[in-house]
Structure 1
Amino acid sequence: MNTRILGKTGFKISEIGLGTWQLGGRWGDDYNEDSAQEILEASTENKINFIDTADVYNDGKSEKSIGTFLKRQKNRIYVASKCGRQISPHINEGYTPKALTSYVEDSLKRLNLETLDLIQLHCPPQQVYYRPEIFETFDRLKDQGKILNLGVSVEKIEEASKALEYPNVATVQIIFNMFRMRPLDWFFDLAAKRNVGIIVRVPLASGLLSGKFNRHSSFSAGDHRNFNRKGQAFDKGETFSGVPYELGLDAVDKLKSLFGDTVPLAQIALRWILMHPQVSCVIPGASTQKQMEDNAAASSLPPLTEKQMLGIRGIYDDMIKKEVHQLW
């Protein structure tokens, strides 16, 4: 497992981390604590030392599972969580220093930690990025020893660039994959100049880039890939990266033709992300130990060739760009 520096945090982290939205169960299915612990244990065996979670994942169960796991660990594991999505309705006015402080303190209890390595605002409404008092709240939490660093998880590049105006923002978590390339236009270079770490989420476009789906694939009622394709519950860019499902399948077929079947497409998709040096870490999720192990293996793949990189870009430009590029 290769490592990279997470921006101004200075943390030396595995370039592939573990995202825990679906930890311990598939999206929409019952949570399984035994499965969660197996995935977490296997992550350390595969030299992963960066775990990303959020207070709302599985109603706090994800954080609790990680807290149980951390009790057994002797090696340094970096933990990032997120706060803000508990606010209901999820509006700008709900973001207050008191509420956010409370959420951080609750996360610390669930994680059995005294200090969080990284806390991230969890895709807040756009108005929040124009409220200095919200960002100053985390300076006080840092002074109190409750957090080490602040980051943001964003929907749009414009939100990310606004966040960079706050000097205490150390990381940006953003959607970036072979179906979502706009961050390459200018944001990655801007973040690098500010020494802000980039954490890549939704790297497989909600599994679309695994190459395992077809037009007959079905998703459970509680799975966002079933109910949120048009943004009915939250930003549609979170589901298949905003790409219409059938169009995505057609593009995946083109990618399979480009690469053949020697290496799983999911690993190629992760390796493509790692080809960009501005990326600090990519955090694919896993609902099984095997998925986690396959994801970790992408770190050891050889670099993609220039021809392959151009081929991927061509598929994006020809099929995907017009659907998503300017939306996020």
Structure 2
Amino acid sequence: MHTRALASTGRSVSSIGLGTWQLGADWGDVDEADAFAILDASVDAGVTLFDTADVYGDGRSESLIGRFLADRPGHGITVATKMGRRLEQVPENYTPENFRAWTDRSRRNLGVDTLDLVQLHCPPSAVIDDDATYDALDALVDDGAIAAYGVSVETTTQALSALRRPRLTNLQIIVNPFRLKPLDEVLPRAAAAGVAVFARVPLASGLLSGKYSADTRFAANDHRTYNRHGEAFDKGETFSGVDFETGLQAVSELSAALPAGVPLPAATLAWIAALPGVTSVIPGARTPTQARANAAAGDLEVDLTAFDAAVRDVYDRLLRAEIHPQW
């Protein structure tokens, strides 16, 4: 597994990390034994970055990770958590007092004195634009509650605003073959600023696994059932905001452009990881087999020139008009 510097923190993280939303909620049920098996398989495969949040299962994901790492002293894993969605999404709730309460809760869940990295969890744009936000985050760093901070965003406009902040460590944004807008400005500016980029939703909620069809059905408590049109949160978090049927057509065309024997998810993860400016790609996994397959993409050595051309062509023909203006 290749590793890359996490900005100026002195840490390195694997080019393929592990997103752990699924260990908390919203992806159907993942029991405790399966959760630990997924974490174990990821670490064995060279993953050194876990991405979580305080709202994933109301802290379940954080707590499971904390318990898992407690049995592995010297583990070398960087845990990036997120905060800010435990209250109504209005700027008035993003106060120093709430920042302190949220980070204290995450410290307890993870069983640590200092959080490795805390990201604002897709807050309102006004919060990202506000100087006071970063004053409060700086105070948490200075107090030793957190070692570093970043921002997870929905839009490229939000990303470009966050990138103006000198102590920003990382930016988390959706990047995949269905979301190419970050390639225009965000990735180059992040690289120039020395800010790490975590590419989330890399497989478009599994759509880019190539395993779904028009007949695929998801559990009632899976966001791929209940949030297709943004009923619960930003619709871009579900299938990257792409219409399911259109996504299936795009997947078919992308699969046809692959080198023989290369699975679509592996090619997709490797393609994202190779983009200039991307530090780590953070797919989720609901089984140890998925976790190992995702991690293996970090070592994939294959010519993806034709795939890259297909990604850009498919995006321009099928997706750009709908997706580019929204995020």
Q: In the alignment, residue 11 of structure 2 is paired with which amino acid?
A: F
- In the TM superposition, 1:242-253 aligns within 5 A as 242-253=241-252
- In the TM superposition, 1:223-234 aligns within 5 A as 223-234=222-233
- Superposed displacement of residue 11, structure 1: 1.8
CA contact (8 A) 1:8 1:197 kept: no
| C-alpha separation in 2, matches of 1:308 and 1:29 | 32
1:307 paired residue number: 306
Identity %: 46
CA contact (8 A) 1:6 1:281 kept: no
- Superposed displacement of residue 94, structure 1: 1.4
Q: Does 1:21 align with 2:26?
A: no
| C-alpha separation in 1, matches of 2:42 and 2:70 | 15
Q: In the alignment, residue 77 of structure 1 is paired with which amino acid?
A: I
Change (3 A) 1:164 1:110: same
Q: In the alignment, residue 302 of structure 1 is paired with which amino acid?
A: E
1:35 paired residue number: 34
Q: Does 1:108 align with 2:107?
A: yes
Q: In the alignment, residue 224 of structure 2 is paired with which amino acid?
A: R
- Superposed displacement of residue 237, structure 1: 0.7
| C-alpha separation in 2, matches of 1:304 and 1:279 | 19
SS of residue matched to 1:48: coil
Q: In the alignment, residue 17 of structure 2 is paired with which amino acid?
A: G
2:81 paired residue number: 81
Where do 5+ consecutive residues of structure 1 fail to align? none
TM-score when scaled to structure 1? 0.96
CA contact (8 A) 1:275 1:304 kept: no
User: Structure 1, residues 67-111: CA drift from partner, whole Å, max 9, x if none?
Assistant: 001111132111110000101x22111111101110001000000
SS of residue matched to 2:280: strand
Q: In the alignment, residue 299 of structure 1 is paired with which amino acid?
A: G
> Matched residue pairs, number?
326
| C-alpha separation in 2, matches of 1:274 and 1:83 | 25
Q: Does 1:48 align with 2:12?
A: no
Q: In the alignment, residue 261 of structure 2 is paired with which amino acid?
A: T
CA contact (8 A) 2:191 2:277 kept: yes
Q: In the alignment, residue 272 of structure 1 is paired with which amino acid?
A: W
SS of residue matched to 2:59: helix
1:236 paired residue number: 235
| C-alpha separation in 1, matches of 2:239 and 2:3 | 28
| C-alpha separation in 1, matches of 2:316 and 2:27 | 33
- Superposed displacement of residue 115, structure 1: 0.8
| C-alpha separation in 2, matches of 1:137 and 1:260 | 49
CA contact (8 A) 1:24 1:36 kept: no
SS of residue matched to 2:257: helix
CA contact (8 A) 2:209 2:264 kept: yes
2:152 paired residue number: 153
- Superposed displacement of residue 130, structure 1: 2.4
SS of residue matched to 2:216: coil
CA contact (8 A) 1:119 1:150 kept: yes
2:269 paired residue number: 270
2:171 paired residue number: 172
| C-alpha separation in 2, matches of 1:166 and 1:122 | 17
Where do 5+ consecutive residues of structure 2 fail to align? none
Q: Which has the higher mean CA deviation after the structures are superposed, 222-231 or 258-267? A: 258-267
- In the TM superposition, 1:199-238 aligns within 5 A as 199-238=198-237
User: Structure 1, residues 211-270: CA drift from partner, whole Å, max 9, x if none?
Assistant: 000000001111111111111111111110011000000111111111166122111110
2:325 paired residue number: 326
SS of residue matched to 2:86: coil
SS of residue matched to 2:107: helix
1:10 paired residue number: 10
- Superposed displacement of residue 24, structure 1: 6.6
TM-score when scaled to structure 2? 0.96
CA contact (8 A) 2:254 2:307 kept: no
SS of residue matched to 2:169: strand
